[in-house]
């Protein structure tokens, strides 16, 4: 599934929960006719879990199962559509799947408020905000993929969303030419 065989690029949108990955991915897919894959939703729909983490009050993703399902989707649609994959982690996805990786970043105060509105509390809230403070997802992406394809995008306000979408669209047009 190397990019040399693809006629169009595969894009990964990643970042700490609450940074706007789903909003960005859905809107991007709508604008450009991409195949959109939300790995968290895919896991929920297909029971791709390996247990429950009581401390963080969430399911634990079975990364092997999730990777197999995502790879099947990528291969199935490879010749017809661009893919946008959205997930808050990225180190378990093979580098060959993606032509570019966008890491959404959000100001810690804004992120704290967003996560509280989602009902995050205690360790789950604190850990996610700390993850953003320490740039955990950004570093994970840089360690997992060629740093040249990893791009950090600010995602604090609605105008950031529009600017990010325009930037990604411009990149897709350049990649396709």
Domain with 68 in it: what CATH number? 3.40.50.300
Is residue 1 situated within a structural domain? no
Contacts of 18 (CB under 8 A, 6+ apart): 106, 111, 114, 115, 118, 120, 128
The model carries a pTM of 0.93
Is residue 3 included in any domain, yes or no? no
More confident residue, 32 or 142: 142
Cβ neighbors of 101 (< 8 A, separation 6 or more) are 11, 12, 14, 90, 141, 145, 149, 150, 151
**65 known member of a binding site:** no
User: Has residue 21 been placed in a domain?
Assistant: yes
pLDDT at 176 over 80: no
Tell me, what's the pLDDT at 33?
A: 87
- The 3-state DSSP class for residue 33 equals coil
State the total domains in the chain. Answer: 1
Residue 15 within a domain: yes
| Residue 177 located in a structural domain | no
Residue 103's domain spans which residues?
Answer: 11-171
Cα-based distances in Å from 83 to 30, 46, 55, 66: 12, 19, 33, 16
Report the chain's mean pLDDT, rounded to a whole number.
Answer: 92
- The answer to whether residue 38 sits within a structural domain is yes
Instruction: Please indicate if the annotation marks 136 as binding a ligand.
Output: no
Q: Is residue 2 part of a domain?
A: no
79 labelled ligand-binding: no
Q: Averaged over 72-90, what is the pLDDT?
A: 80
Q: Give dist(CA 72, CA 67) in Å, integer.
A: 8
pLDDT tens digit string along 102-134?
999 999 999 999 999 999 999 999 999 999 999
Q: Was 124 annotated as part of a binding site?
A: no
Q: What is the pLDDT of residues 1-44, one digit of tens each?
A: 444 557 778 999 999 999 999 999 999 999 988 889 999 999 99
* Residue 1: per-residue pLDDT: 45
The answer as to whether 75 is a domain residue is yes
The verdict on whether residue 20 carries a ligand-binding annotation is yes
Integer Cα distance of 111 and 16 in angstroms: 9
Q: 3-state DSSP call for residue 20? A: coil
């Amino acid at each position: 599934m190397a990019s040399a065989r693809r006629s169009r690029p595969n894009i990964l949108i990643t970042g700490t929960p609450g940074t706007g990955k789903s909003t960005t991915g859905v809107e991007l897919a709508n604008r450009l006719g991409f195949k959109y894959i939300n790995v968290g939703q895919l896991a929920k729909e297909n029971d791709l879990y390996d247990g429950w983490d009581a401390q963080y009050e969430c399911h634990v993703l079975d990364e092997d199962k999730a990777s197999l399902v995502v790879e099947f989707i990528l291969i199935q649609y490879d010749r017809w559509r661009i893919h946008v994959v959205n997930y808050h982690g990225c180190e378990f996805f093979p580098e060959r799947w993606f032509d570019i990786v966008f890491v959404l970043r959000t100001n810690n105060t804004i992120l704290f408020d967003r996560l509280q509105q989602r009902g995050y509390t205690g360790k789950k809230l604190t850990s996610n905000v700390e993850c953003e403070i320490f740039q955990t997802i950004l570093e994970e992406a840089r360690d997992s993929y060629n740093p040249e394809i990893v791009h950090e995008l600010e995602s604090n306000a609605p105008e950031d969303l529009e600017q990010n979408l325009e930037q990604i669209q411009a990149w897709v047009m350049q990649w396709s030419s």
